[in-house]
Every structure is written in C-alpha cells, then in structure tokens.
Amino acid sequence: MFYAYGFETVGVVVSDLYFVDPHPEPGQEGAERGVRLELRLFERGSLKGSIYSARPIEVDRPLWRVDLLESVAGPAGSFDRTHHHPRFQGWEPGARVFDEKLSADPLGWLAERLCDLDGVLAEAGAAREDAGATDAAALRRAVPEIMDGVSRLLAGVRAGELGRQPAGDEPVTDARVSWL
C-alpha cells in the first residue's frame, strides 16, 4: 500500500514495509515490519499533449525519513525498531537515529515534526528554498489526513495484511516490500 501527499514542491509518501537488514547493528538482527514515511521533493513535468492531458508527476529525491518499525519476533505495538533518518546524502539515508521522544510517542512525534517543515528541512540540511512558498502551511493542514493514513497502514501491518514477508521458500536475507 502506498499513499502520496503532494504539495507545491515537497510531498510525503507513506508505505508499509517488511525489511531484513543484511548488515544489522547489534540488537537489530531479524526481520522488521511497519510503516515508512518520507518527505520528498516532487517535480511537475510538462504536459504531454493538449491542455487537457495528464501532467507527469515525479516523486523525486528523499529529504527525511521516519521508520515506524518493530521486530517481527517481538510483540505487536512495541515500536522497538522505530527510528528516523534526519539526513540523506543524495538517495542514501544517513544512519538510524533513535530518539526517546519518538519511541515514547511515535505518532505524536511524527505529527509534531510534520507540522514543522522548516525545522525538518533544517535538520535534513536542505535549503528552505527547496520547499515552495505554500508547502509548510499545506503540509500542516494535511497532517490529520497523513496521520490517518499512517494509522491505517499500521493497523494493516498489525493485522498481518500489510508489511508481510515475501512469498516463497527461500530464506529472506534482504527484503523491502513496499512501494518506497
């Protein structure tokens, strides 16, 4: 499942995720599942036909990421692998950052961060000019809808409908099952 919320220049993409890190840090071994949210740049393409034609939209480079993950082997709702990646180097995320506030209240923390686009951009090392003039206000207005989508995805993961291990008999050593 994949949700996209686009604004003037930036947008938010959210998806379920099943992940096995082939090189995990100590204590992070084993499969993880949950929801990934990324703040990304969006690009509007040129019309490909008449003024009535559909306009291409590119979901481009990530700026910031939050992974609301938990160990598949652990209890549902533990958020024991929940972290964020405040910076990207091109397409590559920086190291996982575990934050006590994020762990204590993942959804509250996420909603608060989404309401502060300028702060997120500063944390990401991105220029304020990367966002359009109306992006911060539009994103703030969309936070309730985005959080509803995140909550629905988390419920689907916990119900075993989303964020599932890929089918097959082969052992999973590196899997990302999502649109992101």
- The CA distance from 17 to 36, in Å, is 6
What are the residues facing 37 on neighbouring strands?
14, 66
pLDDT above 70 as % of the chain: 93
Average pLDDT over residues 38-43: 95
Q: Which two tokens stand for residue 83?
A: 């972290």
For 104-150, what is each residue's pLDDT tens digit? 999 999 999 999 999 999 999 998 888 999 999 999 999 999 999 99
Taking residue 46's Cβ as centre, other Cβ atoms within 10 Å add up to: 7
